[in-house]
Structure 1
Amino acid sequence: MDDVTEGFIRVNGGNVWFRITGKGPGTPLLLLHGGPGGKSNSRDPLRALGNERPIIQYDQLGCGNSGRPRNTELWTVERYVEELEQVRNALELEEVHILGHSWGTMLLAAYLSKQPQGVKSAIFSGPALQARRWEQDQRNHLKKLPLEQQEAVEKNERLHTTDSPEYQAAMYSFYHRHLCRLDPWPPEVSEELENMNPQIYNFMWGASEFTVTGILKDYDASEWLQELKMPALFTCGRYDEATPQATAYYASLVPEAQFHVFENSSHMPSVEEPEAYMKKIREFLVQQEK
C-alpha cells in the first residue's frame, strides 16, 4: 500500500519499531498486538482502512522489529503502559482509537485504567481480561483433545519438560482448534509463533496457554471495566481461546458496550475471516465519528 511510514521511537529500555499505513482524514487507529512477546502482522486486513484513517502498528519492546534487551525488569504491565503513552506522544496521537488483541487487551485495559485523554473508543479483540478465567477456559478446551494429548500436557507440565516433542504436538493440536482453524495455516500465523520472544512469554505468562505461572497470573481487569466512559467493542471467534461466554461477560461490564462473535473463527478472525473482521471494525469506528 502507498503512504506507509516506518521508523523507531525511543522508549524507556530501548527502541520500538512502528509503521503507519495511510493518511485518511479519520481519527487514527492504534493496534496493540498479542503475545506477550508477539509482533505486528504485516498482512493485517485493517491496514486496508488507511485511506479512511491512519492505521498505526508498533512492535512492543523485545518483540518483532523492535529492540530486544534481555532485562526482565522491562517485562511488566506498568512499563508497557508507559511505552504505549510514549508511542502516542512521539506520534502526536492526541485523539486515537485503540484496538488490542489477546494480550493487547490486557495492555489496553491497564492503559485505560489510568484514564488517558483523547482515547475515542476501545476495541477488545479476543479479550484476556482475567488471567485465571483464561487459564480455566483453556483447561476446558484441553479436555476436548484426545486423551493421550491431555495426558502429555499434564505429565510434561508436572515434570517441567514442556519443550518435549509430545507436549509441543499437543499444544499445536490445541492451536489448530482454538488459535487459527485454517488448514494449512497462512504464513503470518506460522511467522508469529516462530518469531515470538519466548523469554517474554514465559516470564509474563508461562510455558503455554494452559497454565499461567508468570507475572500476569493475578491480572484481573473486571473490577473496573464498568468505569470505562468511552464506546467499546468486544469481539471473539466462536471457537476462540477467548470464549464467547467470557467475552460477553466483559462486554456486560462496560456501559453500552457492543459485542460480536465471528462465527467461523477461533482466536485470529483477522486471519480466518479478514473481510468480516475489517467490516465489523470499520463499522464500529464509523459509528463513533458520525
Structure 2
Amino acid sequence: MSITEGFIEVTGGNVWYQKHDSNTDKAPVIVLHGGPGSSHYSLQGLRVLAEERPVIFYDQLGCGKSDRPTDTTLWNLDRFVKELEQIRKALSLDEFHVLGHSWGTTLAAAYYLSESEGVKSIIFSSPCLSAPLWAEDQERNRKLLPLEVQQTLRECEENGTTDSKAYKDATKVFNKHFVCRLDPFPEFLKKGADYKNPEVYNIMWGPSEFHVTGNLKNFDCTAQLKDFNIPTLYTCGRHDEATPESTEYFSSLTPGGKFHVFEQSAHMPYLEEPEEYVKVIGDFLQSVD
C-alpha cells in the first residue's frame, strides 16, 4: 500500500490531499468531510477501505492542513463544488465513487447535479440534503433534551448570545444525544479540534448543528433526487441528528436507492460502530464494481 500526499491549487488557495493506493484497478473513492470547515481528521479510519480500492481524503479550503484564506466570499457551496472538480482534474480521476458525510453529502449532491460525469456511485452518510427539513428535525430532537437545556438554547438564540459558555454547554448535551454517543468522548477527537475553522461553519451553517442561519439555510435538493441515476446508498445512525425518517425519505426519492441504519450510533457511526460501518460501505462499493 502506498500513500501519496500533497497540495492542489484551487480557487482561493491550496488544498491538502492524501491518497491511499491499493494498486488495484478499481475506481477510487473520494471522501468529502463534514462541517463545513471540519477537515478529514475524524474520518481517517476509513483508510482501511484502501485494502480494496484507492481512498482519497482532502481537507476543504479553510480547514485542516489546507490554506486558510481570510476572504469570506470564498465560503459558499458553488465554490466548494468547483474545488472538488479542480481536485478531480488534478488527480486525473476518470471514474470514482463519492462518500460524503453530513455537509459532505450536501456537497456530493450539488457536485453530482452539476458535474455528474465519472461519478460511479454516491454514499450519503448521515445526509443533509434539505436544510429546512434538517432544521425541522432538530426542533423535534431538541424537545427530547432536559427542559433546562432547551430553555438555555432558546434564550441564547433569542438574545443573540450563542457564543456564550451557557450555550456551548447546552450544545454539548445535544451533541451527546445526537452527534456522538461514545462515553467517554474519544481523546483523539479532541485533538482534531485544531483542524476546524469555526468561521467557515458559522458563515455557511450557523452557531450550532441545530440553529441554521448561514448561507446554506435554504439548500434543498429533494426535488432533484429522482435524477440520481447511479447506485446510491443512504446511511445514518439510529440516534442521528440526520434522522432515520428523513434519511429513508431521501432514499425513497432516489431510483434504486439503498438505505441502512447503524443501530448503536448517532451522527458518527464510522467511530461509534467502525467495523460495521466499513463493512456496509465496503459491501456497497463492491456491489457497484
Q: TM-score, normalised by structure 1?
A: 0.96
Residue type matched to 1:267 in 2? Answer: H
**Matched residue, 2:187:** 187
Is 1:220 the counterpart of 2:197? The answer is no
Q: Retained in 2: the 8 A contact 1:226–1:253? A: yes
Give the direction of change, closer, same or farther, for the CA distance of 1:42–1:103 in structure 2 (3 Å limit): closer
**Matched residue, 2:71:** 71
Residue type matched to 2:262 in 1? Answer: F
Q: Retained in 2: the 8 A contact 1:45–1:275? A: no
**Matched residue, 2:196:** 196
Residue type matched to 2:9 in 1? Answer: R
Aligned-residue offset at 1:190: 2.4
**Matched residue, 1:6:** 5
**Matched residue, 1:261:** 261
Contiguous gaps of at least 5 residues in structure 2 = none
Q: Distance in 2 between matches of 1:197 and 1:268?
A: 19
Q: Distance in 2 between matches of 1:229 and 1:118?
A: 12
Q: Retained in 2: the 8 A contact 1:24–1:50? A: no
Contiguous gaps of at least 5 residues in structure 1 = none
**Matched residue, 2:52:** 52
Residue type matched to 2:203 in 1? Answer: F
Aligned-residue offset at 1:136: 1.3
**Matched residue, 1:169:** 169
Residue type matched to 1:20 in 2? Answer: K
SS in 1 for 2:172: helix
Give the direction of change, closer, same or farther, for the CA distance of 1:177–1:194 in structure 2 (3 Å limit): farther
**Matched residue, 1:22:** 21
Is 1:241 the counterpart of 2:241? The answer is yes
Number of equivalences:
288
SS in 1 for 2:68: coil
**Matched residue, 1:106:** 106
4+ runs of 1 displaced by more than 4 Å?
none
Q: Distance in 2 between matches of 1:174 and 1:27?
A: 38
Q: Distance in 2 between matches of 1:93 and 1:200?
A: 27
> Residues 53-94 of structure 1, C-alpha deviation per residue, up to 9 Å, x if partnerless?
110000000011000001111111000000000001101111
Give the direction of change, closer, same or farther, for the CA distance of 1:107–1:82 in structure 2 (3 Å limit): same
| Mapping of residues 131-142 of structure 1, within 5 Å | 131-142=131-142
Q: Distance in 1 between matches of 2:225 and 2:23?
A: 31
**Matched residue, 1:178:** 178
Aligned-residue offset at 1:23: 2.5
**Matched residue, 1:283:** 283
Q: Distance in 1 between matches of 2:235 and 2:188?
A: 21
Residue type matched to 2:4 in 1? Answer: T
Aligned-residue offset at 1:43: 5.8
SS in 2 for 1:224: helix
Q: Retained in 2: the 8 A contact 1:8–1:17? A: yes
Q: Which moved more, 1:256-265 or 1:17-26?
A: 17-26
SS in 2 for 1:223: helix
Residue type matched to 1:124 in 2? Answer: F
Residue type matched to 1:67 in 2? Answer: D
Q: Which moved more, 1:144-153 or 1:235-244?
A: 144-153
Q: Retained in 2: the 8 A contact 1:59–1:65? A: yes
**Matched residue, 1:86:** 86
> Residues 128-160 of structure 1, C-alpha deviation per residue, up to 9 Å, x if partnerless?
011011111111111111111111101111111
SS in 2 for 1:113: helix
Aligned-residue offset at 1:37: 0.7
**Matched residue, 1:151:** 151
Q: Distance in 2 between matches of 1:163 and 1:172?
A: 13
Q: Distance in 1 between matches of 2:91 and 2:141?
A: 40
Aligned-residue offset at 1:189: 2.9
Q: Distance in 2 between matches of 1:283 and 1:10?
A: 34
Residue type matched to 1:270 in 2? Answer: Y
> Residues 161-220 of structure 1, C-alpha deviation per residue, up to 9 Å, x if partnerless?
112111111100111111110011113432444532111111001111121111001000
Give the direction of change, closer, same or farther, for the CA distance of 1:115–1:249 in structure 2 (3 Å limit): same
Q: Distance in 1 between matches of 2:115 and 2:249?
A: 22
Give the direction of change, closer, same or farther, for the CA distance of 1:11–1:283 in structure 2 (3 Å limit): same
Q: Distance in 1 between matches of 2:43 and 2:142?
A: 30
